[in-house]
A and B are shown apart, each in its own frame.
Chain A
Amino acid sequence: MVSQKALQHAEKCRFCWMCRHLCPVQHQTGKELNTPRAKGLLLSMVSKKSAEFDRDMAQAMYECMLCDACVNDCCTGYQPPLFIREARTEAVVNELAPEAVMQLIENVETSGNIYGTVKPSFAREGTDVLVYIGEVAACKVSGMAKALLNILEKTGIRAKVLDNEPASGAMLADLMGYVEEVTQQASACADAINAAKLPTVVVLDSYDAEIMKQRYAEWGCEIKAEVVTATAYVAKLLEEGKLAPKSKKRGSGVCHDDDRLARSFYEFAPVRAMAKAAGFDLAEMFNRERLAKSCGSAVALGYMPEITIKVAGGRWQDMIRTDAKAMLVANPQAYLCLSQCVPAEKELVDLFTALDESL
């Protein structure tokens, strides 16, 4: 049902149970099925023909944020997202995926984004860099996108944003795995970016940056420009003294390292540099950097809002254990999930907006 490589990962588990303590979905649902090792065990049973891949099993494969926390910590090199993505492909192929997932896929097919709406355009002409906004920021967290563009403008950087910006494939890949339909989106996206003929593409959403930087080349649709996360790009502007934030104290905050920055890019310093420049005194959560806990993803919020909001709540619990007042976020998906359940007397801060306001 899944590839030999995926099955090898599914069967690597040595039952130490460490991953039980770090899976954010398992934490919040308490379901044994939601431990990474249980998902591997299910697929192993299917491959040995002692169980059928049915709707319940498909549901279990979707109760995962693909956050990679289990990959980061498992001593066997076990990679649940690898087989979970393949199992999702099987679920879609065999029409066993949850209805809400199929609805999101249909939205992507009809409108190009998971929301099934016309994506607001941020199109502008510019000759220095191309900014890739992404569908979550464009449709749901537009303030973050506007703030990034403002910051660049204040630095004198002429940023171009594509009209009808194509989807990167990141959303579809989370919904149905790495399949041809995803590579078709990737290919169209790479073509559009390459046609802009700019040396750098600044990507606001790290989920988009991850697929562009780590998948496109192997699919034969390489982006010719240098792909840079928006956080790294802005932090470099700060480092080079091209941005001059006014010194205004904004109180204490903790930076949330989003799943992709934390475990695909190991990128931690830029977000903190932005937070300091925006006037925050930094505190830290125990679960930070590579050990950061997921707060959910936009796709998961779309097909399983209840669980995702619980997972976001779990992240707020991490923050509450510190003395900080604000959760500082520089990723639109993380912002969207955390914004669903902001605790009383705590503040959710979009770091791009905070920095823009301080300039």
Chain B
Amino acid sequence: MIKRILVCVKLVPTATSVEMDGQFRLKRDGTSLQLNIADVSALEAALRLKAATPDAEVVVLSMGPAKTSQTLQELYALGADRVILLSDPALAGADSFATAKALVAAIRCLGDFDCLLCGRRAIDAETGQIPGQLAAALGIPAVTNVQQLTARDNGFLCQRRLENGTAQLEIAAPCLLSVCEYTYPLRLPGIMGKRRARDKQVEVLTAVAVGLSAEECGLRGSKTKVIRVDTRAPGLRKCRYCETDVLAEKIREVQL
């Protein structure tokens, strides 16, 4: 039976354009934040598993600035049992390696889980590396790019999205599943859920509390460094769409 479910979520900017600081980090202050779109599916999958299993527990873990706690608090209204924010200025600027390391440290503090769910990628950094890094560090099997999920006695049947279609995979718990965006629309909070959520607080963990040293955190703990960011100048692409008769004419011109 799947009893303890951990969901990792990230809050990402809602804006269509965001600024970077001198170290190529997204400036998140002053921008409004929302749940990363693939994480929405992961969270809803967890809430559905919980609804189907008496006594199941959903724990949500996020790493980010302290100001995200207000948005994370709303997750209690959806049915999360615990919402934990790993927040420490020392963690700022972490690449995916340092982020995964910090998350793993936090997960180890939270005890054993039957299943760890996360979105397949975050829309701000777009690396898609965290799910694999978490599974490797925790030593559990993983299925990435899940677009359908069914609980089995001691594991899951997953439909995995592939280049040319899908694959059905079985996986035993404990395991990690990364879920595709648009897989499960997030439920709306209910009146009773909102009432229950009124008295609940987001639990905040610091780097020290999860046993991380300063060297392991943020930029210092990162294996990669952004040294340059290029923007694509508009108008470089020369391709254009045309009707078939125009296309035929162009092909004739090229042959000439």
Are the C-beta atoms of B190 and A4 separated by less than 8 Å?
no
Chain B nearest CB from A203 CB (Å) reads 22
A-contacting 9-mer, from B181-189, B220-228, B245-253 = B181-189
Are the C-beta atoms of B32 and A179 separated by less than 8 Å?
no
Chain B nearest CB from A223 CB (Å) reads 15
Return the chain B residue nearest A7 by Cβ.
B32
Measured CA separation A182–B188 after assembly (Å): 9
Which range holds the interface residue count of chain A?
Answer: 10 to 19
Within 8 A of B (CB), among A155-197: 176, 178-183
Q: A4-B32, A89-B194 are in contact. Are A179 and B184 (CB under 8 A)?
A: no
Q: A8-B32, A93-B194, A93-B195 are in contact. Are A179 and B185 (CB under 8 A)?
A: no
Does residue A220 face the partner (Cβ distance < 8 Å to B)? yes
Measured CA separation A179–B185 after assembly (Å): 14
From A176, A180, A182, A220, name the one whose CB has the most chain B CB atoms within 10 angstroms.
A180
Return the chain A residue nearest B14 by Cβ.
A4
Within 8 A of A (CB), among B180-210: 184-185, 187-191, 193-195, 198
Are the C-beta atoms of A180 and B195 separated by less than 8 Å?
no
Instruction: Given A89-B191, A93-B198, A180-B193, output 8 extra A-B contacts at Cβ < 8 Å.
Output: A4-B32, A4-B34, A4-B71, A92-B191, A93-B194, A179-B190, A180-B188, A182-B188
The 21 sampled A-B contact pairs (Cβ below 8 Å) are A4-B32, A4-B71, A8-B32, A89-B191, A89-B194, A92-B191, A93-B195, A93-B198, A178-B188, A179-B189, A179-B190, A180-B188, A180-B189, A180-B191, A181-B190, A181-B191, A183-B188, A219-B185, A219-B188, A220-B184, A220-B185
Chain A nearest CB from B45 CB (Å) reads 12
Chain A nearest CB from B150 CB (Å) reads 16
Return the chain A residue nearest B195 by Cβ.
A93
How many B residues face the partner with a CB closer than 8 A? 15
From B14, B184, B189, B198, name the one whose CB has the most chain A CB atoms within 10 angstroms.
B189
Top 3 nearest A-B pairs (CB, nearest first) are A180-B190, A220-B185, A93-B194
Are the C-beta atoms of B14 and A179 separated by less than 8 Å?
no
Q: A8-B32, A93-B194, A93-B195 are in contact. Are A180 and B187 (CB under 8 A)?
A: yes
Measured CA separation A178–B185 after assembly (Å): 14
Chain B nearest CB from A294 CB (Å) reads 26
Does residue A218 face the partner (Cβ distance < 8 Å to B)? yes
Return the chain B residue nearest A90 by Cβ.
B194
Within 8 A of B (CB), among A205-233: 218-220
Measured CA separation A176–B194 after assembly (Å): 12
Measured CA separation A219–B187 after assembly (Å): 7
